[in-house]
């Protein structure tokens, strides 16, 4: 399948943003407390969460598109730059796998959220290029904590 020019550019922009994040953090350690919780979750989110991927997964959610339309905006024209992403400030450890953590990313403009999963087994610094942070759930922000339970946090 041939990629469009805009898709290639979007992928390149995403890679550049990730490299910029990595260069900002150098070899800063991911800190864990005695209970295995992450002491610096905001820095982990900043280093590994790809907002373009979060946006693309949200845009595939019909509920999100309905919220965009309810706000009076055209769902076909909504762009990543239209969203105001934030992070709830916490990490949520998986009940099944203690090396897996979940993070809630939300958008202030449409009240939508995503849960991102990261397996941090063996990861010690914020520049480990092997960390993959897929979106495992999207939904209305009011339901995000139910979403955490559904993914096993």
**CA 89 remoteness from chain centre:** 12
Contact 138/61 with Cβ under 8 angstroms? yes
* Residue of 81, 92, 83, 136 whose CA lies nearest to 114: 136
- pLDDT per residue, tens digit, the chain (153 aa), is 456 777 667 767 776 666 665 555 455 778 888 888 888 888 888 888 889 999 999 999 999 999 999 999 999 999 999 999 999 888 999 999 988 999 999 999 999 999 999 988 877 777 767 778 889 999 998 898 888 888 888
pTM of the model: 0.76
Domain that holds residue 134: 5-151
Centre a 10 Å sphere on the Cβ of residue 114 and count the other Cβ atoms it contains. 27
Contact 36/98 with Cβ under 8 angstroms? yes
- Counting the structural domains of the chain, the total is 1
Eight-class DSSP state of 38 = B
């Amino acid at each position: 399948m041939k990629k469009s020019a805009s898709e290639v550019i979007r992928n390149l922009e995403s890679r550049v943003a990730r490299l910029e994040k990595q260069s900002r953090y150098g070899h800063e350690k991911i800190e864990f407390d005695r209970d295995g919780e992450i002491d610096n979750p905001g820095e982990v989110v900043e280093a590994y969460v790809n907002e373009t991927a979060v946006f693309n997964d949200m845009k595939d959610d019909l509920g999100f598109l309905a919220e965009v339309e309810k706000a009076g905006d055209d769902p076909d024209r909504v762009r990543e730059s239209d969203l105001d992403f934030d992070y709830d400030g916490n990490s949520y450890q998986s009940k099944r796998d203690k090396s897996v953590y979940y993070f809630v990313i939300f958008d202030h403009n449409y009240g939508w959220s995503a849960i991102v999963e990261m397996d941090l087994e063996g990861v010690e610094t914020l520049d480990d290029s092997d960390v993959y942070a897929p979106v495992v759930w999207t939904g209305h922000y009011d339901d995000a904590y139910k979403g955490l339970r559904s993914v096993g946090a």
